[in-house]
Structure 1
Amino acid sequence: MGLQMKYHLKLHERYGPLVRIGPKHISFSDSSLIPQIYGITSKFWKVVNLPPGLREQTKLMIFQSDFYKIGIKRPIAGAYSMSTMKELEPMNDACSAILLRKLDGMVGQDIDLGKWVHWYAFDVITSITFSNRMGFMEQEEDVQNIIAAIEGRLVYNSIVGQAPYLHRYLFGNSFVTWLVGFIPALAVLNSSRHIVAFATQNLQRYQNKEFNTVHLQDMLDRFKRYRDGEQVMNDDELLSNAVSNIFAGSDTTAASLRAIFYYLCRNKEAQKKLLAEIDEADRKGELSDPVTFAESQNLRYFQAVIKEALRMHPAVGLLLERLVPAGGAEVAGIHLTEGTVIGMNPWVAARDKVVYGPDPYVFRPERWLEADEQSLKLMERNFLAFGSGTRTCLGRNISQLEISKVVPQVLRRFEFELAGPPGREWRLHCYWFVRQTGLICRVKRRKE
């Protein structure tokens, strides 16, 4: 555990396109199989490996498998649509303004930029969910230790998700759970109650109108919409969605923002091109202050930078697992029996030389601008940063909105360089999401 994405890459380099990584457990690297396994019409269902006690606490995030088939996703899909996200831009802008103010006070200093973008992402997700910014950036700390709680739970979930039988011997055992409570370093792994309590507290305050929600239409407002005279969601479902937003809504965006700034710092030519594009758009009056989502879509090189950074560093570093359907299936000329688990690691898909050319390990945004129509279609097919098919990440638009707005807004005024000795690398930790630490950067002011 910890660097599975690199391990899977090495396995396929050595053993080929289909590798057995466990009992009835197959990893594939042949990109031509993506439509069969992940396509909209695929019969391969998403795997749910968490034991019963964990399923309810992360129900929405885990059971995105067949929303369209069982009708769970439809009532809330509108709350995650891009049109809804655009309506929430003012909440995003308020968080961006705080980040800019904080960066302005740290010019010339070496900062942990990874922490700051995580605090930013968490302030945004609590703002658009509850109309209540929690103040991570203002307090410059992990408010109520919720980030640590989520990271601890991700470690545990990634382990028991791969080996569900372990749960009965770990936190499925009341004695172990009691004992771990006395060991802080391990107690954080059993933090699901803390996460749910955090969401419950904010939901109750929201329903008691403790927040200034007048004239605001946040995501909870959309979840609570009525249809044909009946409320679409009950209180338990509202809580489930709130937990899902908190659990998965900040880590993925933070990982993507870290990747963008890291690779720009490592590739000065790319950073120079992006700054020039932003400056030119500013000169022509094509960017508002703050930058709108619509305006950011016209920054072609910037959009290529986003795609390339997320290709180099997909947020998820484990297999996107699917179950072979009833009767079995032929995959790459091999018959797989019913119930076999098969999946592709997004990091493996992103480094396919057949699709991305001879340099898939190189950060080169230009590849997205130079590709012809057919090549671009294949590159998009292999882009699994947000999943694929009907199981595409529900919060994709949240992440895209945040990234598209905050990065050009920040780079208008600041640029960054990696601090420390030359060649210093960040550190990666894969527990479902691939979290980065050690993104220490020096802040430099470009202009007011």
Structure 2
Amino acid sequence: MAIIEHVREAISKLDLVSVAVLIPTLVVLAHVIPYWVDPHGLRQYPGPWLAKYSDLWLARVTAQGNRSEVVHELHKQYGPYARIAPNHLSVSDPAALQEIYAHGSGTMKSNFYDAFVSIQRGLFNVRDRVAHARKRKIVSHIFSQKSVLDFEPHVREYVKMLIRQWDGLFDSAVKGGSGPEGEGWEGRDGKLWLDCLPWYNYLAFDIIGDLAFGSPFGMLTACKDYAPVAKFSEKDTTVHGEIVGLPAVQILNDRGEYSASMGVLPPWVRPWVKRYIPWFSRGSDAVKNLSGIAVAAVSTRLKAQVDRVDLLSKLKEGKDDEGKPMSIGELTAEALTQLIAGSDTTSNTSCAITYYLAANPSVQTKLQKELDEVLGSNDDPVSTFNEVKRLTYLDAVINETLRIYSTSGIGLPRMAPAGGVMIRGKAYPEGTVLSTPTYTIHRDIAAWGEDSDDFRPERWFERDQDTMQKAFNPFSFGPRACVGRNLASMELQIIISSILRHFEFVLEEPEKPLTIREGFLRKPSGCRVGIRRRNL
């Protein structure tokens, strides 16, 4: 305390000119000294010069929305090791997945995840290993294969609704019709032309709304991005005041970009940028509004006291090792986690699959042939999971999209525990942040072949399965892997098989690549396709 007082006294005696010189000098020293002291032994690794001294390089790249691609280019330039922040090493060796993320690694989630906390910590952003184990015990059984089958009728109901909507639009389109301004659909060349991404958003939100909260958001019916948002007290998640309708998809997009950018900044900087930089201030509002969606939905569901099987009812029934259930705040935080994880990932991936099938007509034809052979006698427009769960080419198409598109493409940061960690034969001391970038290992030539940048489902039948699986990371890996993997897989199999059996797709601009904006997840900016109903 005496030293601090002496420093304060010394600063108080300085004139403005001296202060103007001193502050920048201290800022520079605060970045240069750690580089030369090198407490984590990372100075030997290559990377952008600014990244060696400051987190600003990674923050800027993240805010620009193309982090995975930029880090991938670094690895192409530098090899398997790239320093992307003063205390963050990206390791693009697929073998590092096991060592960084596996159960026995001992690594922990870094403070990156603190930027994703709202209401209270949920399964995704809790960092304490004991707290995480407790939450996972309660939540994981909900997503077992057996439990997930309870949700299948709800998934099929909304897929049928989407097909019905597109059927209606197609009938209008072939008669020369077009949608009102803002809906963006039209009839041309015997096809219905529209941007499929909003529709996949409506589908995914209505499915997860029904599964998590007992009722859909009504987006498919209204053909509109909308959800009730509550103002609430974070202490007890009590609804305060009027519930208003806001665009949920846009809120989710804004929140993902905000939290991903905030998470790469040092914790002491975050309150300042949130207060003084307008873009971060708007992102902070998105975090509150997204929480407000969960609060409104949980409040409505609990008041209704509906007796039905859904995620919320299963969460309410769950108990930890001491027999204690989740509190309302914890329940709401977990419901929010499922809302985020179950909407954005499904819609983004469904859109990407549609794009790649439209861009590769031979693949689309081959998939439809498999579907026709298995489902040809079925009059129901929506497949059952039992009918499609073993279709090999359908699996190959989905897996190839998960690989090449990489919905979650960034390297999820893990921190070396006390005593350090060994990764690929190299020692890293406690506190070092390490990650393996999914986007990059999904393009590893040794695992995927010389054409690893190409969309080609046939590789899943041609190459060594063990080698590919060790470099395949769509749902993360180890104790912090996505608990909803079974549900996500079932949804994608039902959605894609049903829609591709009913419709065929072409791209409006075949030479134009899929434009993607990355927050925490990689999201298409849109995908305009021509849709024609198939004659079954």
* TM-score (normalised: structure 2): 0.76
Segments of 4+ moved more than 4 angstroms: 50-53, 55-58, 226-231, 285-289
CA drift of 1:231 comes to 5.6
Looking at structure 1, the residues matched to 115 and 363 of structure 2 have their Cα atoms a distance apart, in angstroms, of 47
Looking at structure 2, the residues matched to 126 and 85 of structure 1 have their Cα atoms a distance apart, in angstroms, of 15
The residue aligned with 1:259 is 352
Looking at structure 1, the residues matched to 130 and 162 of structure 2 have their Cα atoms a distance apart, in angstroms, of 36
Looking at structure 2, the residues matched to 68 and 272 of structure 1 have their Cα atoms a distance apart, in angstroms, of 48
Looking at structure 2, the residues matched to 32 and 300 of structure 1 have their Cα atoms a distance apart, in angstroms, of 27
Q: 3-state DSSP class of the match of 2:418?
A: coil
Q: 2:386 aligns with which of 294, 298, 319?
A: 294
In the TM superposition, 1:191-340 aligns within 5 A as: 191-209=286-304, 213-214=306-307, 216-225=308-317, 232-283=325-376, 285=377, 290-340=382-432
Looking at structure 2, the residues matched to 206 and 10 of structure 1 have their Cα atoms a distance apart, in angstroms, of 47
RMSD (CA atoms): 2.4
What percent identity do the matched residue pairs reach? 28
> Tell me, which stretches of 5 or more residues in structure 1 are unaligned?
none
CA drift of 1:339 comes to 0.8
Q: Contact between 1:43 and 1:325, CA under 8 Å: does it hold in 2?
A: yes
1:231-271 CA-partner distances (Å, limit 9, x unpaired): 62221111011111122221111111112111111111111
The residue aligned with 2:262 is 160
In the TM superposition, 1:396-407 aligns within 5 A as: 396-407=485-496
Q: Contact between 2:407 and 2:521, CA under 8 Å: does it hold in 1?
A: yes
In the TM superposition, 1:364-383 aligns within 5 A as: 364-371=456-463, 375-383=464-472
1:108-156 CA-partner distances (Å, limit 9, x unpaired): 2211101111110111000111120111111111112111111111111
Say whether residues 1:48 and 2:48 are aligned partners: no
Looking at structure 1, the residues matched to 483 and 334 of structure 2 have their Cα atoms a distance apart, in angstroms, of 11
CA drift of 1:60 comes to 2.6
CA drift of 1:304 comes to 0.6
Q: Contact between 1:224 and 1:231, CA under 8 Å: does it hold in 2?
A: no
Looking at structure 1, the residues matched to 112 and 141 of structure 2 have their Cα atoms a distance apart, in angstroms, of 28
1:164-201 CA-partner distances (Å, limit 9, x unpaired): 34311133x4xx49xx5xx9x96355222211221111
1:34-64 CA-partner distances (Å, limit 9, x unpaired): 2111222222222232448936545332127
1:291-331 CA-partner distances (Å, limit 9, x unpaired): 11122112110011110000001111221111122222343
Greater C-alpha radius of gyration: 2
Q: Contact between 1:68 and 1:390, CA under 8 Å: does it hold in 2?
A: no
Could you tell which deviates more after superposition, 157-166 or 228-237? Answer: 228-237
Looking at structure 2, the residues matched to 22 and 229 of structure 1 have their Cα atoms a distance apart, in angstroms, of 41
Looking at structure 1, the residues matched to 525 and 344 of structure 2 have their Cα atoms a distance apart, in angstroms, of 12
Q: 3-state DSSP class of the match of 1:318?
A: coil
> Tell me, which stretches of 5 or more residues in structure 2 are unaligned?
1-61, 171-190, 227-245
Taking CA–CA contacts closer than 8 Å with sequence separation of 6 or more, which of the two structures ends up with the larger relative contact order? 1
Looking at structure 2, the residues matched to 224 and 43 of structure 1 have their Cα atoms a distance apart, in angstroms, of 30
Letter in 2 for 1:293: F
129 and 367 in structure 1: CA distance in 2 versus 1, 3 angstrom threshold: same
Size of the aligned set, in residue pairs, is 432
Q: Contact between 1:55 and 1:62, CA under 8 Å: does it hold in 2?
A: no
The residue aligned with 2:66 is 3
The residue aligned with 2:521 is 433
* TM-score (normalised: structure 1): 0.90
